[in-house]
């Protein structure tokens, strides 16, 4: 198995992140630096799949492949999605010690709503890769009422700085609230789109990713995905990947 894929399966990081770590000389196999063409050998044991080599990332021994876990989390405003131990508001401090869970993508500290937490590096790679165009839906409130031209302009794509966003799906929720579904994941995209058209976002909540819905899960709470939710999510990712 390719080393980057193995690291993703352990939950250490996504495959893309593993490729960067290998490129930057931060991964070792036993006593030597790893390269992007390295592979690892796996054996079946009572505990599951185990690697015959010792793999180190940033000097730390990588754990064996864990059973896959999939959780839904309702992030509150003020929680930082970065997993930094020295950051008091980090999501890391709200997660269980085991299994090791990582958020798929991020929500800004001043945004709230749905995060998927998992140790499935392959799913993380597929949901974050821009080529697959996975749908994410948000409910957004801006600082004043808007007209239908604003909805049309947002849906058509907005230019700011040196980018023009892809077309998206827009609908009105209230005089100053809208729902937006993106298949693009630019940094602070919704805030910057709105700002380019003269509006300031004052509340941003992600309510769905692909088939997965936030529903009525309270802020700050998490729960495992149901078998139906997981099946539908994996199927939706597979369909989108096949179309990419």
Q: How far is it, in rounded angstroms, from Cα 136 to Cα 168? A: 10
Q: How far is it, in rounded angstroms, from Cα 71 to Cα 117? A: 5
Q: How far is it, in rounded angstroms, from Cα 139 to Cα 211? A: 16
Of the candidates 160, 161, 165, the one whose C-alpha atom is nearest the C-alpha of residue 181 is 165
- Whether 151 and 157 have beta carbons less than 8 Å apart is answered as no
What's the CA angle centered on 236, arms 218 and 217, to 5 degrees? 5
Q: Cα separations (Å) of 157 from 91, 142, 196?
A: 32, 18, 11
The answer to whether residue 24 is catalytic is: no
Per annotation, catalytic residue among 38, 53, 108, 203: 108
Q: How far is it, in rounded angstroms, from Cα 197 to Cα 149? A: 10
Element (H, E) at 127: helix 121-128
Catalytic residues: 108
């Amino acid at each position: 198995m390719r080393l980057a894929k193995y690291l993703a399966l352990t939950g250490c990081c996504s495959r893309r992140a593993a490729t960067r770590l290998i490129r930057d000389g931060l991964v070792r196999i036993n006593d030597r630096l790893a390269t992007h063409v390295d592979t690892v050998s796996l054996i079946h044991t009572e505990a599951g799949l185990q690697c015959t080599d010792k793999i180190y990332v940033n000097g730390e021994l990588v754990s064996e492949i864990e059973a896959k876990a999939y959780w839904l989390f309702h992030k509150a405003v003020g929680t930082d999605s970065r997993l930094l131990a020295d950051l008091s508001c980090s999501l890391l401090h709200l997660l269980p010690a085991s299994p090791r869970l990582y958020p798929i993508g991020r929500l800004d500290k001043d945004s709230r709503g749905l995060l998927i937490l998992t140790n499935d590096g392959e799913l993380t790679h597929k949901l974050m890769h821009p080529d697959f165009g996975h749908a994410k839906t948000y409910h957004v409130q801006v600082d004043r009422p808007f007209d239908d031209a604003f909805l049309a302009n947002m849906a058509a794509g907005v230019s700011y700085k040196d980018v023009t966003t892809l077309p998206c799906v827009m609908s009105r929720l209230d005089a100053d609230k809208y729902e937006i579904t993106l298949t693009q994941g630019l940094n602070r995209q919704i805030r910057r789109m709105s700002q380019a058209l003269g509006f300031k976002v004052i509340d941003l909540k992600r309510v769905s990713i692909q088939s997965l819905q936030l529903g009525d899960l309270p802020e700050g709470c998490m729960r495992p995905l149901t078998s139906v939710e997981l099946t539908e999510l994996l199927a939706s990712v597979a369909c989108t990947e096949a179309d990419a």
